[in-house]
Structure 1
């Protein structure tokens, strides 16, 4: 999602959204009341995915579209993503997908968390191949409904899944999926022990942090990834690692392309990144307090791509490429595609190019977002990683 600088104030929240957040908070308080405290991973899962209450499981407008609304008008939703910014993202990504399908002799695409359906729409329009079958696994009923409306013209090609497939061959797409998976929060104590952060209630009935001793499994996992930095807080995404492990069971042929913001492990647990990467998105404002506005704000964490690559290798998959989003798009021929635009048509050219610059600029999404390809060798180098492949940094 596109990051906008933090504000010291929060936007006005409408009464309906505030009421929804109150209902979600009541649900979370009941969980805490039953157990005394809950690990942050549980909090994040419930705040995002509790049926009818969680951010992704209710009818919030989550995604803003820069293409259809001027920024000065105030964007709807809480964040925007690369497919919403510009159709050139999907058109360029389609070149990589086409190579994977042709080289692996497959005709299926599986997208996780398809948002508004914009990415799927633009990919199918670009490929223009009725033999391609497009599968979507979407947890949000609201977004699934929007996807079905958006993709109605491809009705014979698109199918929604309710669970992971037992067997899949083709190209898997996960754009900004890993960052929304619930994370465990930990903190190194001054004496060198590891604590896991839980959420509890204070005497006033407000959500508050509670530190509990981390279990042996978490201590072992964290100590193999970073040295002890007293008073250092960060996160570990065990659910994302498990998700990739599981992919090793059901992906039988083809390639998965994972696009998200994050770092290799040495950068992720850098001494200067002492407060972790947890971030919340509320009406296009970013802040770092996940304990407020439950159910109506997004909660995310950057991705430890080394951990994702290790999980892939452990599950029998190969790591086929890793680079920045900018390098990936340029390798896939973004500039060749843009050459079709007429620079003499100044108004249209500016409208098309401005969002593309956000996709590739080092100061915007181009460097912060990375692309990791895992799966099976297709017999030729993947197009998106022909130059500046950074697997050696993982």
Structure 2
């Protein structure tokens, strides 16, 4: 998976545009960036409006989310923002020059970190329960053919026992401690502020019996053959990442859904009153389009079903999110 995604000829190393292969909230509507801009404003206030506010997008792809937040943020805050894209692909043309582009996380962040559909691409191993115990699944990188391999490592076993216990032969688990470590590395760099991970996710009470590993290419799900021709992804155990973040220094945590988070940030999907169509047709059309975009972003059976993990260091959880119950 590591080679298929990030190796010399890997899927993301080639500079693939994610929007060509799968639809994210960033591609669905600029209102996603606008909601995050409002959240960033709350973080800035909690920090006391410092002269510099970091805004880091991990797994930035084309940089479109950062550019959208810069367009939407209050000008006073915008002048103090230091936006950084963390992405191994080459910098795309046309990106605002003030956005720094780097392949690794900054050493220290005071402000806000966004990891939108990043953790699902952090490589991991798959373990299957067999009649002779758990075995790591080995995959032919060209055909996708599988066979049982060695017993999982002690580290894998400890994580599985705590977060994804296997019971019956044929049960599979995606061993998520690399994602936990990746998220802990984000929280460990956060001096003061908020970090948000948004991703396909599940929790201990609802782990999928056969796992979630899949591939995406050209807008369609395809077999997860790790040959570099497709995105290879698996849902994220965000509850495990929550604990990893707390162990790395997070002082407040919220695990919820995108639907709940975006509704808290002002996206309702409510259609405008039909009377507006007669009194102000242009405003009605604009409000109707916004309602449609909101509805897609908060659809519980679609993008709204994504998990949101919000963790702070040194500040309270922003009020808009704090009112939402954890799930």
- In the superposition, the TM-score normalised over structure 2's length comes to 0.87
- What's 1:20 paired with? none
- What's 2:44 paired with? 101
- What's 1:307 paired with? 240
Aligned partners of 2:237, 2:144: CA distance in 1, in Å? 28
Shift of residue 347, structure 1, vs aligned partner: 5.0
Secondary structure of the residue aligned to 1:55 is coil
Residues 188, 232 of structure 1: 8 Å contact kept? yes
Shift of residue 228, structure 1, vs aligned partner: 3.4
Aligned partners of 2:158, 2:202: CA distance in 1, in Å? 21
- What's 1:290 paired with? 224
Residues 323, 385 of structure 1: 8 Å contact kept? no
Specify every segment of 5 or more residues in structure 2 that has no aligned partner in the other structure, as ranges. none
Shift of residue 337, structure 1, vs aligned partner: 11
Shift of residue 87, structure 1, vs aligned partner: 0.6
In the TM superposition, 1:353-364 aligns within 5 A as: 353-364=291-302
- What's 2:194 paired with? 255
1:178 matched to 2:110: no
Deviations 1:292-325 (A, max 9, x none): 6x22211111110111011111212234212110
1:164 matched to 2:105: yes
- What's 1:114 paired with? 60
Q: Which has the higher helix share?
A: 1
Match of 1:124 among 70, 81, 97: 70
Shift of residue 334, structure 1, vs aligned partner: 2.0
Aligned partners of 2:270, 2:79: CA distance in 1, in Å? 22
Shift of residue 339, structure 1, vs aligned partner: 7.0
Aligned length: 314
Deviations 1:148-174 (A, max 9, x none): x132xxx3x422233222222111111
Shift of residue 58, structure 1, vs aligned partner: 0.5
- What's 2:183 paired with? 244
Aligned partners of 1:260, 1:309: CA distance in 2, in Å? 13
1:188 matched to 2:129: yes
Query: Do the aligned partners of residues 363 and 250 (structure 1) sit closer, same or farther apart at CA in structure 2, a change above 3 Å counting?
Result: closer
- In the superposition, the TM-score normalised over structure 1's length comes to 0.73
Query: Do the aligned partners of residues 321 and 339 (structure 1) sit closer, same or farther apart at CA in structure 2, a change above 3 Å counting?
Result: farther
Residues 17, 61 of structure 2: 8 Å contact kept? no
Secondary structure of the residue aligned to 2:315 is coil
Residues 193, 312 of structure 2: 8 Å contact kept? yes
Residues 321, 382 of structure 1: 8 Å contact kept? no
Query: Do the aligned partners of residues 354 and 334 (structure 1) sit closer, same or farther apart at CA in structure 2, a change above 3 Å counting?
Result: closer
1:208 matched to 2:145: yes
Match of 2:167 among 203, 206, 229: 229
Shift of residue 85, structure 1, vs aligned partner: 0.7
Specify every segment of 5 or more residues in structure 1 that has no aligned partner in the other structure, as ranges. 1-43, 64-76
Aligned partners of 1:95, 1:166: CA distance in 2, in Å? 25
Secondary structure of the residue aligned to 1:388 is coil
Aligned partners of 1:219, 1:83: CA distance in 2, in Å? 36
Aligned partners of 1:135, 1:357: CA distance in 2, in Å? 29
Q: CA RMSD in A?
A: 2.5
Shift of residue 374, structure 1, vs aligned partner: 1.4
